Chains A and B, each alone.
Chain A
Amino acid sequence: MDITLTIIGQSVAFFVFWWFCAKYVWPLFMDVMEERRQKIADGLEAAARAEKDLELAQAKSTDQLKVAKVEAAGIIDLANKRGSQIVDEAKDKAKEEAKRIIAGAQADIEQEVNRAKEALRAQVSAIAIAGAEKILEGSIDQAANEDMLNKLASEL
């Protein structure tokens, strides 16, 4: 075995290459690996966050659905109430209208009756006078008769 200066040369080369590798090669790959590790970690974190967000959104949506249901029930309730109120109001109005119509009709009837009575009265008084004239034939105090007849007519 011939040991020569080569052994020293190789030792020097060993340390120089080591230095070069440590300074210019190793960090490049370390950085890339670290960066990739970070990227993957970020990705996983984002995925976890998205899942949580989804969960939250779902919870929120069910909550909102619940609120909406309650609200809707309230609105339906209100509408029902309002509806029945309107119906009631309409009923009341109708009743009133009916009453008014009935009252009008009665008033008409009364008027008609009164008119009929008036006519009747006039006719009766005429008949009565004619009758009395016939009975008494002549001497009758016109003024006293008139008075008596008016009294009679008002009693009719």
Chain B
Amino acid sequence: MAELADAAHAAAEHGAEGQTVQEYITHHLSYLTYGKFPDGHWGLAHTPEEAVSMGFMSIHVDTMGWSLFIGAAFLLFFRYIGKRATSDVPSGIQNFVESIFEFVESQVNSGFNYKNPHVGPLCLTVFVWIILMNTMDLVPVDWIPEIAMAVGGLWGLEHMSFKVVPTTDPNITMGMSISVFFLILYYSVKNKGLGGFLSELAFHPFGKWMLPFNLIIEIPTLFAKPVSLGLRLFGNMYAGELLFLLISGLLGAYQLPAHFVWAVFHLLVVPLQAFVFMMLTIVYLNAAHEPVHADH
């Protein structure tokens, strides 16, 4: 850590705008926040401190905006392709979209053993959406923020932060994993009945005489699902982004090869994390559809 700090100081002295590496990275890791100031009025936060002062009653305009934009773009694009798709030999872009569709469908077919026509669309949405959000990580870290700062300067926001990768925002990943969690609860209760669902928590795995132990095991297991689902994605993408920022902040002009190496590595992480999120969603929902064990 000491070397890292030294390097940071060294780089900071070469910083073009007198910005230290810490400032550079902090700036890149904070959000463009719109929210309720402590005095009650709503507006854009001009500094990270202001953003923090808003607490829960604020929204990350940048990550939320990118997330919505990417999701809408993906769905409209798929719809556009789907509208023009024919059952003849698929060509070019249709083939590409169909291969994604078929990939997701085959994963759902092999991992999900029950009849539920809503799971396929869910997985397609989650998979492609997350892949695209993660891919924003491969856009050079300063391009869009610099443009945003230039645009923001027009309204006196020349130091505005502008995060580009929605999945480096825990709100985004947890927003999705909590949605999945609600789906787990909904389908569990729907398929097992409330009694069945609760009995799974209470009488499993050790039978009814060990009820407290069962609860101690099962309830954290249940809540660990959304937390691990959301934080895994967030952690991977946040770490990836942080490394890009470190490379860009510390290495100055020599950053290109390091960027390239890390980007190639990240190229694996981007689809892998989307795939993991989708697969776990399938697994969790499959478990939510399983009939209650008859032995209790």
Name A residues whose Cβ lies closer than 8 Å to a Cβ of B.
Answer: 1-11, 13-15, 17-18, 20-22, 24-26, 28-29, 32-33, 35-36, 38-39
- Chain B residues, Cβ within 8 Å of A20: 75
- Chain A residues, Cβ within 8 Å of B57: 4-5
Bound: A2/B178 CA distance, A: 16
> Closest approach, in angstroms, between the C-beta of A8 and any C-beta of chain B?
7
> Closest approach, in angstroms, between the C-beta of A4 and any C-beta of chain B?
5
Chain B contact patch, size range: 35 or more
Find out whether the CB atom of B71 lies under 8 angstroms from the CB atom of A36. no
> Closest approach, in angstroms, between the C-beta of A44 and any C-beta of chain B?
15
> Closest approach, in angstroms, between the C-beta of B31 and any C-beta of chain A?
8
Find out whether the CB atom of A14 lies under 8 angstroms from the CB atom of B75. no
Find out whether the CB atom of A3 lies under 8 angstroms from the CB atom of B98. no
- Chain B residues, Cβ within 8 Å of A7: 171-172, 174-175, 178
Find out whether the CB atom of A6 lies under 8 angstroms from the CB atom of B122. no
The residue that A18 contacts in the complex, of B67, B98, B121, with Cβ under 8 A, is B121
Q: With contacts A20-B75, A21-B125, A22-B121 known, is A5 near B176, CB below 8 A?
A: no
Q: Which residue of A lies closest to B59 (CB)?
A: A5
Q: Which residue of A lies closest to B129 (CB)?
A: A17
Interface contacts beyond A3-B56, A21-B125: sample of 19 additional A-B pairs, CB < 8 Å, sorted by A = A2-B171, A3-B174, A4-B33, A4-B54, A4-B57, A4-B60, A4-B171, A5-B56, A6-B64, A7-B171, A13-B64, A13-B68, A14-B125, A17-B129, A21-B75, A21-B122, A22-B121, A29-B78, A39-B87
- Chain B residues, Cβ within 8 Å of A35: 87
Find out whether the CB atom of A13 lies under 8 angstroms from the CB atom of B67. yes
B158 close to chain A: CB less than 8 A: no
The residue that B60 contacts in the complex, of A6, A25, A38, with Cβ under 8 A, is A6
25 A-B pairs whose Cβ atoms sit less than 8 Å apart in the complex: A1-B170, A3-B171, A4-B35, A4-B57, A4-B59, A5-B58, A5-B59, A6-B58, A6-B171, A7-B178, A10-B174, A10-B175, A10-B179, A13-B64, A14-B125, A14-B175, A17-B72, A21-B78, A22-B117, A25-B78, A25-B121, A26-B121, A28-B85, A32-B82, A36-B87
